[in-house]
Amino acid sequence: MVGDRFFKQVIFSSLFLPICFGVLLLFGALPKVFAQDAERITRTWPEPAITQHKISLEGKRYDYRAEAGHLLLHNAKGKVVGRIFYTSYTVENDGPNRPITFVFNGGPGSSSVWLHMGALGPKRVFMNENGLPPAPPYKVVDNEYSWLNETDLVFIDPIETGFSRPEDGESKSQFTGVSEDVQSVGDFIRHYVSKENRWASPKYLAGESYGTTRAAGLSGYLQDRHGMFLNGIVLISAVLNFQTLAFHDGNDLPHALFLPSFAAAAWAHNKVDRNRFPNLKNFLEEVEQYALGVYTLFLNKGDRLSMEERKELGEQLAIYTGLSENFLASHHYRLSTWMFTKELLRDEGFTVGRFDALIKGRDKKPAGDSYDFDPSYNLSIFGPYTMAINDHLRNHLNFKWDETVYEILTGNVHPWNYGSAQNRYLNVAETLRNAIHKNKDLKVLICSGYYDLATPYFATDYTVNHMFIAPEFRDNIQTRYYEGGHMMYTIPKELEQFTKDVRAFYSGNRSKK
């Protein structure tokens, strides 16, 4: 499969989590066709669309201005090299001191559609209580959980995603890499802040998945390059140290850090003895202790494990994961996401989702080592969000650009340049730590889903615990957990709690000024 070959070619095979893998797996060679088409097209760039709207949040009415358009990116010589598409929402008559938050998703290769139309913006995709959509053509509703009562919002689509493109004749390689991406998005933020006269506003970032990697990089770039010190960052389904995600021979760390999420999925699907473990959080606390204790010790021993230790290990992992001792032994007691999502419900004929292990799917045949597709992407989010962003831009915001595809997810960003991280695991946690040490008022909120098998919550906890932040700054980072997946906000109950936590985060920052 194209996706499998792609992952084997890159040292951090899990780097392209969560969504870009789905694109490559589903569409294969299509990104190359799109890239070739892009080289032939001479585009007529549309003018920005500005519209006026209102929304009620927590019993109060907010009048706001929406703007959808492009901002030019220039190189050092002043030449236009790219155009970043953005959608902004600005509450009217609230002054330049109102907070402003710059929002993006991940990939690399994802537009900002997921946070835009799923949780933060004034409109959202309607989802049923179980986190699944109704039948097509789906539905967009007013979002009572929008962040607009706390902050103005600017949703950014990095180059090659959404409607963002290099200037005609310019190479995408100027934007498609770890450093290149941080620089282009950072320069967009600096330009937007100047254009809109927002230097006096409290400034925040919100990123999801690889967008958290970008946000951590920006925390350093904006400070060091532009003298722009942030007030806060919201990291959703974070990945800061890619060693914690990369299932490679010789790297046992992910096997321990994914174990609590595998256990959570097994618990949710009744593969764990619920009489013995009736409470999810108490159950996970036990699994976490085992993962970093006995399990890590046994992993480190490798072939030196005695038969008694192997028996003990198999029995305990079977209790926590619901998988058979024979299956666990055949994989040297090391589980990966791909095998777990296929194996957990194999006896029932189902697979479980990688982005959200609560969601079940059906493969062509039960046999095999990995699923045919991720049900939590294909059955849950791809169709509804594609409809939502196209309908919203055209019919609510009056932005029409029919000659160009809005790239929800794309492989056009590859090959992705890892620069100095090319032959090692990318770790931007160090950048975030340094930014906090230089800016004592920088606060970070980390939001994780228990059923996320793409960027598991315990891997994020491990990363934070190994940032070696000075003691006086450790309270700058808060963590919150949800009974959902990578996009926990697709479940209405979790979206409500997520929004409460975010509003408290902004409110807390205001009260400490």
SS3 54: strand
For range 460-464, the mean pLDDT: 98
pLDDT for res 12: 34
Q: Which DSSP string do the residues of 358-426 spell out, in sequence order?
A: T-EE--S-S-SSS-SS-HHHHTTTHHHHHHHHHHIIIIIS----TTS--BSB-STTPSPB-GGGTTS--
SS3 451: coil
User: Would you put residue 160 in left (φ > 0), alpha (ψ -120 to 50) or beta?
Assistant: left
Using 50, 70 and 90 to split pLDDT, how confident is the model at 513? low
pLDDT for res 147: 99
pLDDT at residue 11 tops 60: no
- Alpha-carbon span 68 to 70, nearest angstrom: 7
- Alpha-carbon span 486 to 236, nearest angstrom: 8
pLDDT for res 95: 76
Calculate the average pLDDT of the chain: 91
First to last CA, the chain: 53
pLDDT for res 22: 35
Q: Where are the domains of the chain?
A: 2-243+382-511, 247-378
SS3 513: coil
Using 50, 70 and 90 to split pLDDT, how confident is the model at 350? very high
- Alpha-carbon span 33 to 156, nearest angstrom: 25
Cβ atoms of residues 316 and 289 within 8 Å: no
CATH fold of 2-243+382-511 reads: Rossmann fold (3.40.50)
Identity at 180, one-letter amino acid code: E
- Alpha-carbon span 477 to 446, nearest angstrom: 7
